[in-house]
Amino acid sequence: PRGDHKAYMQLCLEQAQRSPPKPTNYRVGAVLVDLASNTILATGYTLELPGNTHAEQCCFMKLAEKHGVSEENLGGVLPSELALYTTVEPCSKRLSGNLPCVERVLRLAGSIRTVYIGAMEPETFVAENTGKKMLEDAGICIVHVEGLEKEILEVATAGHINA
């Protein structure tokens, strides 16, 4: 049914479980939903695509490929009412130096209206994830979907030493 946030978050968790465990990141799953039709435009999980990719990034890269545009220009071809679901909040800083997902989401601020988050990012790699405020300042709503946090964090950190 419409707005069944927990079902979409469960789907994100299933995506995250496909991610190969690594000690230097989290296993995250993401789903991009078109609200007008309540249909899934893309799914993604950490490292799904080559290049140390993040789950949210994979959703955008796959959509860009489908539309024959670069990820930077994806905003021009997307419907205007989308929701991004992600098990862990979009990163605001990446130790690899790659573009953080908050920046990737901000590029799509004209389409992504709400980001549903299953868990806030732990402080293992980045002391304070400033993403929530950056997204809200751009007019994007952040909604914490309750109930799967424990499982999400267990999956996310499965590759960590003495996780």
The SS3 of residue 5 is helix
Which token pair is 148? 């799967």
Residue 101 binds Zn ion (CB under 5 A): yes
CA atoms within 13 A on the CB side of 66: 11
116 binds ligand HJL (CB under 6 A): no
| Residue tagged active-site, from 14, 48, 56, 146 | 56
Find where tokens 């914490």 sit.
144
* Residue 90 lies near ligand HJL (rule: CB under 6 A): yes
Q: Is 61 in the site for ligand HJL (CB under 6 A)?
A: no
26 near ligand HJL, rule: CB under 6 A: yes
Q: Is the dihedral of CA 158, 126, 51, 80 positive or negative?
A: positive
Residues that bind ligand HJL (CB under 6 A): 24-26, 28, 46, 52, 54-56, 86, 88, 90-91, 94-96, 98, 101, 121, 125-126
So which residues are the catalytic ones?
A: 56
